[in-house]
Amino acid sequence: MSGGTVRDTALVLGGGGLTGIGWEAGILYGLARAGVDLTGADLVVGTSAGSVVGAQLASGLLTPRELYERQLADPAGEIAARLGAALYARYALALLRSRDAAEYRRRVGAMALAADTPPEAERREVLAARLVSHEWPERRLVVTAVDALTGESAPFDRERGAGLVDAVAASCAVPGVWAPVTIDGRRYVDGGVRSATNADLAAGYRRVAVLAPMALGGGKLPSPAREAARLRAEGARVVLITPSPEARKAFGRNVLDPARRAPAARAGLAQAAAHVAEAAAVWAEG
């Protein structure tokens, strides 16, 4: 069940670390196995973890099953990292001190620029190894990032001129963990600094599926539920899928732990069965 007309179907893949990549792959494979294949969407929007999944799917070189099975492999080559309580506290403090979302993004960007992180080039190699193609696909793929200096949203696509690996690396540049990514002399950080899903970029599409490994918003950051509600108010049919309690348990306490990717993928596959009917109702043509 996939749409075929322009501006018909959109798949939005949110951020959530390595566990988010695994969980999204599990959900997508589980739905496809049940007859609801979201991966043929006319538009794919990827934020952070979702940019990795989206780039692989949009390439057309992997089936949902193959994408899922890649998550079960030994995560050799990944760089161990931690998104711990201290860093979350710094994000929270930046929120409290910011008058609006734009100021929050600038504060977090400044924090990222000042952070002591592994070299940008080293991290880029990891992202390049994750992708099955380094070329922008023919299908419309939007990879989200944020300008670290200005806080402005930076949605990359094949028309913008950035290379796909660089765009995905920027979208995955978690502030305080990974170095901002340099593209045409500008420095960019994780698209999740703007929104966990950036689902508003699917505005105008008739049928939208949103997978959000991180379901919370708050304060100056829109929640996936709020973004989905706005799309519905604009006339779209929307299915929003967030992690089940069992999936959250599989994620563990560190979403950047490579060892948790496979358990998260299995949890996503198991959870998918609970969403087949609602996804089919949204994705059905007509």
Decide if 48 is catalytic: yes
Alpha-carbon distance of 60 to 64, in angstroms, equals 10
Instruction: Identify the active-site residue in 190, 195, 223, 257.
Output: 190
Instruction: Identify the active-site residue in 37, 48, 153, 195.
Output: 48
Per-residue tokens: 16: 């959530």
CA dist 30 to 120, 199, 202, Å?
35, 22, 23
Decide if 166 is catalytic: no
- How big is the CA angle at 7 (ends 3 and 13), to the nearest 5 degrees? 75
Alpha-carbon distance of 59 to 37, in angstroms, equals 16
Per-residue tokens: 171: 């979208």
Residues annotated as catalytic are: 48, 190
